[in-house]
């Protein structure tokens, strides 16, 4: 059976590409604005993307160290927005997230990275 921290790693590995896409889409929308603060928002969003992308190889390495292999995205089962197969402990397992679960997990991850950026900005000011 997969442990809770391993499941969190699997979720993070699956959700990181989705999160990058969300932030990039928001950046594209922000670029259309003529707001004086837009440049500050874009710089912050790019910093968030950089932090997320820096984390991606760390998550992959940790999965490799724990002998967890993501097999791939599959057609979501009824009620699931995201569905992935993975192998952990020699057993094939599934990760199925409904839309509310995926939205909550993405929000949590984004808040984590935003807190990192906030700490970074405090340290440099």
Tens digits of residue pLDDT in 5-22: 999 999 999 999 999 999
- Between CA 16 and CA 110 the distance in angstroms is 10
The half-sphere exposure of 125 on its side-chain side, counting CA atoms within 13 A, is 6
DSSP state of 53: H
73-89 pLDDT, tens digit each: 776 677 778 888 999 98
Domain that holds residue 103: 4-124
- Please state the domain count of the chain: 1
Sign of the dihedral through C-alpha 53, 55, 59, 62: positive
Select from 118, 99, 109, 82 the least CA-distant residue to 20.
109
Q: Does an H or E element contain 12, and which? A: helix 4-31
Cα end-to-end distance, the chain, whole Å = 46
20-60 pLDDT, tens digit each: 999 999 999 999 988 889 999 999 999 999 999 999 999 99
Q: How far is CA 108 from the centre of its chain?
A: 9
């Amino acid at each position: 059976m997969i442990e809770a921290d391993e499941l969190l790693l699997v979720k993070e590995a699956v959700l990181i590409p989705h999160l990058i896409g969300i932030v990039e889409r928001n950046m594209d929308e922000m670029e259309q604005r003529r707001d004086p603060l837009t440049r500050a928002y874009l710089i912050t969003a790019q910093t968030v993307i950089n932090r997320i992308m820096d984390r991606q190889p760390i998550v992959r390495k940790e999965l490799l160290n724990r002998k967890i292999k993501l097999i791939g995205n599959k057609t979501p089962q009824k009620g699931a927005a995201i569905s992935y197969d993975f192998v952990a402990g020699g057993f094939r397992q599934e990760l199925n997230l409904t839309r509310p679960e995926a939205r909550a997990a993405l929000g949590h991850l984004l808040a984590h990275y935003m807190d990192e950026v906030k700490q970074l900005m405090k340290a440099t000011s």
